[in-house]
Structure 1
Amino acid sequence: MGNCSSTPELFEKVLEMFCGRTQHKSIHNNTKKKIKGTVVLRKTNDFGALILDRVHEFFGRGVSLQLISAVHGDPDNGNRGKLGKAVHLERSITTITSVLSAVEAAFNITFDWDEAMGFPGAFIIRNHRHSQFYLKTVTLEDIPGHGQLLFICNSWVYPAHRYNYDRIFFSNKTFLPCNTPEPLRYYREQELIGLRGNGSGMLKEWDRVYDYAYYNDLGMPDKGPEYARPVLGGSKTYPYPRRGRTDRPPTEADPNIESRLPLLGLNIYVPRDERFSPVKMSDFLACALKSVGQVLPAEIVALFDKTPNEFDTFQDVLNLYERGVKLPNRALLNKIREYIPCEILKELVRSDGERLFKFPMPDVIKEDKSAWRKDEEFAREMLAGVNPVVIRGLQEFPPASKLDPIIYGNQTSTVTREQIEKNMNGLTVDKAIKNNKLFILDHHDALMPYLRRINTTSTKTYASRTLLLLQDDGTLKPLAIELSLPHPQGDQHGATSQVFTPAEHGIEGSVWQLAKAYAAVNDSGYHQLISHWLNTHAVIEPFVIATNRQLSVLHPIYKLLHPHFRDTMYINALARQILINAGGVLEKTVFPAKYAMEMSSFVYKNWNFTEQGLPSELLKRGVAVRDSRQPYGLRLLIEDYPYAVDGLEIWSAIETWVREYCSFYYSTDESVQGDSELQLWWIELRNEGHGDKKDEAWWPEMQGRAQLIQTCTIIIWVASALHAAVNFGQYPYAGYLPNRPTISRRFMPEPGTREYAELESNPESAFLKTITAQFQTLLGVSLIEILSRHATDEIYLGQRESPDWTSDAQPLEAFERFRMQLVQIEHRIVQRNNDKRWKNRFGPVKVPYTLLYPSTSDSIRASGLSGMGIPNSVSI
């Protein structure tokens, strides 16, 4: 199809030859007042559908619009808004350059003005064509007495026979339920009823249903017991946030488990408007092509190196970025072609076809190839790396456990004062605790209940505690790493532990490097499963569902929150399909393996919505204390804590914006209490979306403006800044797996063993044989490269898809102040990064902390792996 762009014009000429006309046009009475308008839509890129659409349009079955009055009801139709005469789209005023690209086209439309109908507040659209289209905007010009009227639609419209109700779009006005013009009230309510669905039946792509389901789609029991996974959600044993309902048929082996699509199937049901845009899908697929390792057969994997599935030296790892992995021969490349389509393969190999899997250089090794091994960098990344949300202040010694002693015995730390005080710069433990100088990275309690089972897989790892000292220069100094295992005689006997302290040289230095690797493995797994997946992706999805089910598009809180839900349901659906499912990429590349999602359910038991706000979260971790003299009402105990310092500024800006916005629509606490849609939204979020936590006392009661502002601020913070902080640093720091290994494959070697002798004689080889293997590295790095990229059509904090997202002037002015405040925050972050006093902002690896840059500058858009910029939503 070398000249696809001329095909539509050619088809019109054929129609004209046979029928003497080119396109159906509406007939208007030129003696009446006309209201002209423009409809902007994006057509399907399916050529066959386009031809059929032209036929439908020729016979007068195109796209019709019918205005609905906002001021006059029809007494013959239950006083619903009076309907105008249906009119059809006229000829396109924008040339389509290619039927194979998703281009926008603008169409004229003309309405007869009916004084008896009055000002329109909505319209019905009917698609009588063969295929769906994306309706972007409808603009009406020069409405008598009113001027221009804008409808921001941004929705896919399928053929009318796919719906059992009318597709309705409202103008960009905003109304609380009680203030809705009476003629529009019925349409507002019916739109929400359609979005809720009837609660049953397998959902199809044209369905617009938002509903809840358990995570019962991760396992594949029909493949055998090793692929069975528990249902997450709906029980005290495995509590979990809800996901979007799909209602695929159950598996044969277990009627409680929903069947799955084929492995690489991406057509997973979410409401069509929740799917990626064509531009983003193109970006995603182009990058995802590099993550095809899971489809390669074992014999190909084994030929990557002379030592199957192992890196022999750190230089071998560096070759992934400097040279790529060299294929042994052309025959192997031909073998790969049997499994990977040529259009995918060309994304993976150089033009000479000799190398596979060449990755961008991660920031952590750009300036210095070995600085990541320094203790200062190991500690600094707990404050400014990819997982800066776990470190906490230590207020008791030795560190205690919250695990039930009846089940798990004594889990108190075995670290002694003598072991750490020798490295505490003259401080005693008691004095350090009193002066808020001791901190801990504690992954003990989260892992210990699962460790015995995890270690029955190919993983061999520990539950770790890392103790650190805050020094006078603001940097953290590791003091000890405790590695613990369940007692061999049973969990009730407690833990068996080893304690390692810093060393630089000889076998002691090599052992210490391994101890840090085990701690990093714990932190990597916790980061992916909890900090990233659970605490952003999973917990936000119920908010997406409830908002669309209970808040009309006319509702101010819908307009406030909707941008922060963009793409979340679809990226989560993709994750369930290929990442977090049984045998998926995450199980292959992160140490908990088949127990990964079950472990995240265990941690969700302690999830608390109100503690997701940044100030509360910092106080809970003991890295800040309340101080009314400070700008945000608290004082950081680590002054040079980049995530917290930058985050508090972002948090404050979001909170100010939300307060100004909400105060415009809610003048009193009673107006919050009387908002029927808002109250149903909040009830459903508690009872359905996070139903396993519905009885928790910490839920805000939603009885006043303060609770509404707090709730919306937390939602926006989690969906935007928190997700940016724990997501977009993945490739810069973890793209080099030795810095952030995800798996450990053998235990710490004991003196007198062959492994210990190897560690002594060849520490590089012993280190690499302990952490993530070569194939898992290729797969894991491929994954985080995808997850760390910004889409080219990303919409960032302080931006909206349309500048006219509301017709209310004061919220628009407040939003502009919010945008300008973010610009000023970025300038201050740049200044802090350039200030040499703040050592934790650069560290030995010389990587500035940019993850909370709110900027949307061209420099961010130019590089998907920029490591900066806060998207509005959990969109990747």
Structure 2
Amino acid sequence: MDTITKKSKHEVIIGTNNSKINGVVVLMKKNFLELNDIRESVVDRVDEIMGRKVALQLISSTVLDHQESQHSESYRGKLGKKTYLEDWITKITPLAAGDTTYNVTFEWNEEMGIPGAFKVQNFHHSEFYLKTLTLEHVPNHGRVHFVCNSWVYPAEYYKRDRVFFSNQTYVPSQTPTPLRGYRDEELENLRGNGTGKLEEWDRVYDYDIYNDLGDPDKGTVYVRPILGGSVKYPYPRRGRTGRPPASSDPKSESRIPLYRSLSIYVPRDERFSQMKMADFVAYALKSIFQFLAPEFEALFDKTPKEFDSFEDVLQLYEGGVQVSNGSLLEKIRENIPFEMIKELLRPDGEKPFKFPVPQIIKEDKTAWRSDEEFAREMLAGINPVVIRRLQEFPPASKLDTELYGKQTSTITEEQILDGIDGLTITEAIKSNKLFILDHHDTLMPYLRRINETATKTYATRTILYLKKDGTLKPLAIELSLPHPNGDPYGAVSTVYTPAEDGVEGSIWQLAKAYVSVNDSGYHQIISHWLNTHSAIEPFIIATKRQLSILHPIHKLLHPHFRDTMNINALGRQTLINAGGFLEMTVFPGKFAMEMSSSVYRNWVFPDQALPADLIKRGLAIEESTSPHGIRLLVEDYPYAVDGLEIWTAIKTWVQNYCNIYYKNDEMIQKDTELQSWWKEVREKGHADKKHEPWWPKMQTKEELINSCTIIVWVSSALHAAVNFGQYPYGGYIPNRPSTSRRLIPDPESPDYVELKSDPEKAFLKTITSQMQSVVGISLVEILSRHSSDEVFLGQREDIEWTKDEEALKEFEMFGKKLEEIEKRIMKMNSDGRWRNRFGPVKMPYTLLYPSSEIGLTGRGIPNSISI
């Protein structure tokens, strides 16, 4: 008869009784762009014949291996006998990249207890993607499921064997004793030692400053400031690659060649899936424009580099760009393998550069020009997070007067009184009727240098009035330039008011265009890149370094980090780098990232919560009786209305989930991993902000819930709101010009004569050029698409992501709540009372509609910043 001795809650010593456990492994072999790597497959088969197989070894979660523990600094669970995957040679692998299942049989008996982890050793020459291991009929327990989702490289690449844990969840203090050593060791592996160049098989998460944007070895024109680690240029941290320093500047990291961009280091499990990579490469083909600028200049009629009319712009969508396959193809072949572009330049006469019609002009090709649509997009466009309520008049500046002189707005009461329904300015402010889109202070310190380049633009302020029908109307636009005698002399400003006809109407259209240029640049570098992509990366790194995969908060946050480090690394390589796409297409040019650093000085983590942001901008006030705890002062504010629904749903889910594992504040305080995580977020991830008093102390459940809600909100809904409308709104460049090349002409100049005689042509010669437009449209089309493996809010890749039934039940309720929100959004969009949800362009607001199909849909909230 077996004897059982209980040593602790999780430690059991049992006698001997042989038996077996059957398991099923699901994995995906190494593939590229959905095609099998034949060479690697052949080598793997040879490995199998030679006895170099894939070995697995179960680890008990209830029985200690006393001999193993003697050789370690921590307790270790009993190890089962090593076994191997069966039928690797005979198993037919799908032609397309996909899952393959393998049987495995473990020798295991009751005395070994319950498996809680397993080791895997890959003795093949190539890596594979291990998805799951499922054990059936474990003695005295039943089914045990392991969610792995990790690339396993050949064993020679690892100093310690790979270990995977079951889908059971434990806070550190409740971890079974036999698993504690493995739990701690896995986190140590992920942290690395902080030195050396990181290779593709490395699994190291570490921090670095943004010293990889410039390329000083290419010359001074490619030198950029190092962001992060200094008072002058504060910035969030990025993932470390360990690349050697540049030859000409030891403080800068060397860069990899453009053609190797897809191989830039991120921890292997953070890389795009093979399906996502295939989609990304396919859509990114249009980025070859950077190689083709000279050839494309000749493709448009009349004026090279310019659109001659709005009809000329529409040809991009209705006619496409005619391309011959002669010398152009040879040009492309110099830079990109033919196999990757053969579908792009087709011999059958198709026009490969025909873009989809953006939603903004799908129903009405001219409604974008109306004042109502111009104002509506501040509430329901791709950058609805900047507009604020005007609470002082004239609008003041926060710029240092010693450096920049007087920067107070020159807009007068007389210029706007006719548009505020007989109210005085004071009455309109008290009635919450005046609003402002203010880009003045952000831009002015850089404007002099920006305007010394090909860009010619202004710093803008726009005053708007809330009408009785809930829409906004612009009252005045102020365009400001630095004083010609120097910054300390203040700004030189001109104020323009609405006009419909004649040259005044044409100038008013230009004034609105300059506002859109300012807003487009701010959107890309601040609202989008800084406040979502860049700000979230430190949380990802800290989570992987300090929170075990067994930790409940790791399981909560992990889906919201998918693909983010990979897309950020690609962004640093090709988008926000010196000479990258952002500098090519957006007006701040080489000053863009430096400008984002100056804005980061004012970044406050708690203010990233939607209710806090709305209150800070004066768009809402606290109201305890409201379902969301606040009341909107603009009732028809689609981003805020839908956003608050999503925010509350996220917070409810996070709160219910956290309550499962934390019964009181003391459990928060005593959770060693949680405290290390939060300390590292502050002191390493956002190190330039570590002394700020506003950081939550992470001592209460409320602080944990609020912090996690912000992280999930920013990673999912906020990013969706500012990303997936880029093509629907900005794919038509006249609506969202990204740069301007001329100032408003002097009345005595030939340009002024042209403005009077051909205002359409003058407008197009002022905003984004033809080539910049084509490159920019190509870019935002890529960034606005959902890939075929997208996972949306309320979904998980693996339905067995946790064993905890209560957590699964709460997650199911979260999904149902999101479905209710979808129905509410569609109902409001079809209700004519809410004019800002539809607008003159007849384009419903769907950017916070949770679900979506793949492709270019203008809706859908992915779990993470995945593009």
TM-score, normalisation: structure 1: 0.94
Query: Distance between the aligned counterparts of 2:478 and 2:842, measured in 1?
Result: 29
Query: Distance between the aligned counterparts of 2:142 and 2:94, measured in 1?
Result: 35
C-alpha deviation, 1:345, in angstroms: 3.6
Task: Identify the residue that residue 697 of structure 1 maps to in structure 2.
Answer: 693
In the alignment, is the contact (CA less than 8 A) between 2:470 and 2:634 conserved in 1?
yes
Letter aligned with residue 560 of structure 1? L
Letter aligned with residue 36 of structure 1? N
2:479 corresponds to 1:483:
yes
In the alignment, is the contact (CA less than 8 A) between 1:92 and 1:108 conserved in 2?
no
Q: How does 1:170-185 map to 2 (within 5 A)?
A: 170-185=165-180
2:666 corresponds to 1:666:
no
Could you give the per-residue CA deviations for residues 636-686 of structure 1, whole angstroms, max 9, x where no partner exists?
110000000000000000000000000110000000000000000000000
Q: Which of 752, 770, 773 is matched with 1:756 structurally?
A: 752
CA separation of 1:350 and 1:392: change in aligned 2, threshold 3 A: farther
Query: Distance between the aligned counterparts of 2:732 and 2:288, measured in 1?
Result: 19
In the alignment, is the contact (CA less than 8 A) between 1:94 and 1:105 conserved in 2?
no
Letter aligned with residue 267 of structure 2? P
2:839 corresponds to 1:848:
no
C-alpha deviation, 1:346, in angstroms: 3.7
Q: Which of 234, 238, 263 is matched with 1:239 structurally?
A: 234
Task: Identify the residue that residue 562 of structure 2 maps to in structure 1.
Answer: 566
CA separation of 1:339 and 1:171: change in aligned 2, threshold 3 A: closer
Q: Which of 285, 288, 293 is matched with 1:292 structurally?
A: 288
Task: Identify the residue that residue 37 of structure 1 maps to in structure 2.
Answer: 23
Could you give the per-residue CA deviations for residues 50-109 of structure 1, whole angstroms, max 9, x where no partner exists?
11111111122110001111111112122411111000001159953545x322110000
In the alignment, is the contact (CA less than 8 A) between 2:60 and 2:115 conserved in 1?
yes
> Could you say what the CA RMSD is over the residues aligned between the two structures, in angstroms?
1.4
Task: Identify the residue that residue 224 of structure 2 maps to in structure 1.
Answer: 229
Letter aligned with residue 524 of structure 2? Q
2:48 corresponds to 1:57:
yes
Letter aligned with residue 84 of structure 2? H
- Show structure 2 runs of 5+ residues with no match: 1-16, 32-36, 70-74
Task: Identify the residue that residue 60 of structure 2 maps to in structure 1.
Answer: 69
Query: Distance between the aligned counterparts of 1:183 and 1:333, measured in 2?
Result: 62
TM-score, normalisation: structure 2: 0.95
Task: Identify the residue that residue 23 of structure 1 maps to in structure 2.
Answer: none
Q: Which of 132, 139, 143 is matched with 2:138 structurally?
A: 143
C-alpha deviation, 1:731, in angstroms: 0.3
Aligned residues: 840
Q: Which of 410, 419, 424 is matched with 2:420 structurally?
A: 424
Could you give the per-residue CA deviations for residues 258-299 of structure 1, whole angstroms, max 9, x where no partner exists?
011111321000000000000010011100001211111525
Q: Which of 853, 859, 867 is matched with 1:868 structurally?
A: 859
Task: Identify the residue that residue 13 of structure 2 maps to in structure 1.
Answer: none
2:206 corresponds to 1:220:
no
Secondary structure of the structure 1 residue equivalent to 2:523: helix
Bigger mean CA offset, 246-255 vs 717-726: 246-255
Task: Identify the residue that residue 675 of structure 1 maps to in structure 2.
Answer: 671
Secondary structure of the structure 1 residue equivalent to 2:535: helix
Q: Which of 587, 607, 611 is matched with 1:611 structurally?
A: 607
Could you give the per-residue CA deviations for residues 738-789 of structure 1, whole angstroms, max 9, x where no partner exists?
0000010011111111111100000111000000001110100000000000
Q: Which of 236, 261, 271 is matched with 1:275 structurally?
A: 271
In the alignment, is the contact (CA less than 8 A) between 1:749 and 1:756 conserved in 2?
yes
2:205 corresponds to 1:207:
no
CA separation of 1:177 and 1:337: change in aligned 2, threshold 3 A: closer
C-alpha deviation, 1:837, in angstroms: 0.2
Q: How does 1:447-596 map to 2 (within 5 A)?
A: 447-596=443-592
C-alpha deviation, 1:166, in angstroms: 1.2
C-alpha deviation, 1:423, in angstroms: 2.0
Query: Distance between the aligned counterparts of 2:91 and 2:208, measured in 1?
Result: 44
Letter aligned with residue 66 of structure 2? P
Query: Distance between the aligned counterparts of 1:356 and 1:239, measured in 2?
Result: 43
Letter aligned with residue 748 of structure 2? G
C-alpha deviation, 1:628, in angstroms: 1.7
Task: Identify the residue that residue 167 of structure 1 maps to in structure 2.
Answer: 162
Secondary structure of the structure 1 residue equivalent to 2:164: strand
Query: Distance between the aligned counterparts of 1:439 and 1:551, measured in 2?
Result: 43
2:125 corresponds to 1:130:
yes
Query: Distance between the aligned counterparts of 1:526 and 1:158, measured in 2?
Result: 42
C-alpha deviation, 1:342, in angstroms: 3.4
Secondary structure of the structure 2 residue equivalent to 1:289: helix
Secondary structure of the structure 1 residue equivalent to 2:827: helix
In the alignment, is the contact (CA less than 8 A) between 1:530 and 1:603 conserved in 2?
yes
In the alignment, is the contact (CA less than 8 A) between 1:92 and 1:106 conserved in 2?
no
In the alignment, is the contact (CA less than 8 A) between 2:48 and 2:88 conserved in 1?
no
Secondary structure of the structure 1 residue equivalent to 2:419: coil
In the alignment, is the contact (CA less than 8 A) between 2:295 and 2:328 conserved in 1?
no
Q: How does 1:57-456 map to 2 (within 5 A)?
A: 57-78=48-69, 79-91=75-87, 96=92, 98-99=94-95, 101-265=96-260, 266-327=262-323, 332=328, 336=332, 340-349=336-345, 352-353=348-349, 355-456=351-452
- Show structure 1 runs of 5+ residues with no match: 1-30
Secondary structure of the structure 1 residue equivalent to 2:583: helix
In the alignment, is the contact (CA less than 8 A) between 2:405 and 2:490 conserved in 1?
yes
Task: Identify the residue that residue 725 of structure 1 maps to in structure 2.
Answer: 721
In the alignment, is the contact (CA less than 8 A) between 1:591 and 1:743 conserved in 2?
yes
Could you give the per-residue CA deviations for residues 217-236 of structure 1, whole angstroms, max 9, x where no partner exists?
00011111110001100001
In the alignment, is the contact (CA less than 8 A) between 1:833 and 1:848 conserved in 2?
yes
Query: Distance between the aligned counterparts of 1:649 and 1:415, measured in 2?
Result: 37
Query: Distance between the aligned counterparts of 1:330 and 1:253, measured in 2?
Result: 40
Secondary structure of the structure 1 residue equivalent to 2:259: coil
Task: Identify the residue that residue 12 of structure 1 maps to in structure 2.
Answer: none
Query: Distance between the aligned counterparts of 1:474 and 1:347, measured in 2?
Result: 48
In the alignment, is the contact (CA less than 8 A) between 1:364 and 1:736 conserved in 2?
yes
C-alpha deviation, 1:425, in angstroms: 2.5
CA separation of 1:106 and 1:122: change in aligned 2, threshold 3 A: same
Letter aligned with residue 303 of structure 2? T
Could you give the per-residue CA deviations for residues 609-644 of structure 1, whole angstroms, max 9, x where no partner exists?
000000000000001111122211111110000000
Query: Distance between the aligned counterparts of 1:679 and 1:105, measured in 2?
Result: 40
Query: Distance between the aligned counterparts of 2:142 and 2:265, measured in 1?
Result: 40
